[in-house]
Amino acid sequence: MDVLIHMFVGLHIIGIAALLGGFLTQMKATGQGAARFTPAMLHGALTMLVTGAVLVGLNQAQDHPVDNVKIGVKLAVLVVVLGLVYVKRDAEKVEKPLFGLVGLLTVVNVFIAVLWT
């Protein structure tokens, strides 16, 4: 079971790579006001949600302690990110502040994950 948990942590990391990587590839376009939410960002955010939920279940099934407050905060931040990316997924251009907010919230989630012990 531990191998399965580690595999899902790996998938969880692939999800953040797609979400944050998708954001970073748009940095130049953001400066020109022409950034858009790429499919990689939407699929990365969805991957985070699904693999995160699976990780909660697998850890609980193994009686590994899960910090519900930390997970709840990560989930709340991700839901905002996912909602914004989903609603604007077909927009050819996304306003700079909105695009920046999604990147900021994503980075915040990375630091919540690694600093909240």
To the nearest whole angstrom, how small is the minimum distance from the Cβ of residue 49 to ligand HEM?
Answer: 5
To the nearest whole angstrom, how small is the minimum distance from the Cβ of residue 32 to ligand HEM?
Answer: 26
Residues 4 and 6: their CA atoms lie apart, in Å, by 5
Measured from the Cβ of residue 3, the count of other Cβ atoms closer than 10 Å reads 7
Tokens of 30: 């953001």
Instruction: State residue 108 phi and psi, 5-degree precision.
Output: -55, -45
Cβ closer to ligand HEM: 43 or 59?
Answer: 59
Residues 78 and 108: their CA atoms lie apart, in Å, by 10
Cβ closer to ligand HEM: 34 or 46?
Answer: 46
Q: Which residue is nearest to ligand HEM (CB)?
A: 52
Which spans of this chain sit near ligand HEM (rule: CB under 6 A)? Answer: 9, 12, 16, 48-49, 52-53, 55-56, 59, 66, 71, 74-75, 78, 106, 109-110, 113-114
